[in-house]
Amino acid sequence: MDDSAAVDVDFGESGLVPAVAQDAENGEVLMLAYVSPEALARTRETGRAHYYSRSRDELWEKGATSGHVQSVAEVRVDCDADTLLYLVDQEGGACHTGHRSCFYRTIEGETVGERVFDPDTVYE
Amino acid sequence: MDDSAAVDVDFGESGLVPAVAQDAENGEVLMLAYVSPEALARTRETGRAHYYSRSRDELWEKGATSGHVQSVAEVRVDCDADTLLYLVDQEGGACHTGHRSCFYRTIEGETVGERVFDPDTVYE
């Protein structure tokens, strides 16, 4: 991955932009999280998805605890340069509930996503 | 679409949640915009994607001006119930630049997305 970013990302007042992680193979939308300039730089340097946790107020590497890392094949930017799209190869599942995708249910409450691991065996 | 939302969406302090629009047919991620409770209710009532513009501070129906409407096949909610995924049938292109998707370029500035209309002929 070329580390020179030609597109100047607009991190706005919050200093964060939302990033959508999408399975590079089958197109499944896996999760949305927030990214700081440092998280983006680390993602591009390492090829592994990094985000910024607003609740813990810290940079985190996806899968550092669970092993469910995301190898980033490509980073895309939207027209306004204030949202990112990470095209990833997801190890295991993206969701802490054990589902492949965080978007595993409809707004009516129906579960439509696949469960791929038991969170009790992954997170202590 | 059943209008009773079993999942209680967490709109947080801002009163808005990000919503990712994904092509229901081919899985392409088309755009990200923000949704208020009213925008979500209108989306579910009408089956057409509605969002809330933070810059204009108003509810808007996608495609109301351009004709590039989004018919919503399904609304999904993520694990934390603070992000939505709209699975849509996109008329024309989602992006005001004329591209099918707002994520038409990589962070290195390479255009990878398809241009499907000329914005000069759509927006006055």
What are the tens digits of pLDDT across the range B38-58? 999 999 999 999 999 999 999
Q: How confident is the model at residue A123 (pLDDT cuts 50, 70, 90)?
A: low
What are the tens digits of pLDDT across the range B5-33? 689 999 999 999 999 999 999 999 999 99
| A36 pLDDT higher than 80 | yes
To the nearest whole Å, the CA of B114 is away from the closest chain A CA by: 13
pTM for the whole structure: 0.95
pLDDT at residue A6, as a whole number = 85
CB contact (8 A) between residue A107 and residue B79: no
Q: Which domains does chain B have, with CATH numbers?
A: 17-119 (3.10.20.810)
pLDDT at residue B2, as a whole number = 53
Q: How confident is the model at residue A80 (pLDDT cuts 50, 70, 90)?
A: very high
ipTM for the predicted complex: 0.94
| A5 pLDDT higher than 90 | no
Q: Dmax over Cα atoms in chain A, in whole Å?
A: 43
| B124 pLDDT higher than 60 | no
When CB atoms are compared, the residue of A32, A74, A84 closest to B78 is A32
CB A99 within 8 A of CB A113: yes
The single-letter DSSP state of residue A114 is P
Report the range of poorest mean pLDDT among A4-8, A89-93, B88-92: A4-8
Mutate to test the interface with B, among A31, A43, A79, A83 (most CBs of B within 10 A): A79
When CB atoms are compared, the residue of B5, B27, B107 closest to A108 is B5
pLDDT at residue A105, as a whole number = 98
Q: Which residues neighbour B7 within 8 Å (Cβ) at sequence distance 6 or greater?
A: A105, A106, A107, A108, A109, B77, B81
Q: What is the mean pLDDT of chain A?
A: 95
Q: How far apart are CA A70 and CA B70, in angstroms?
A: 30
Average pLDDT over residues B101-120: 96
pLDDT at residue B123, as a whole number = 67
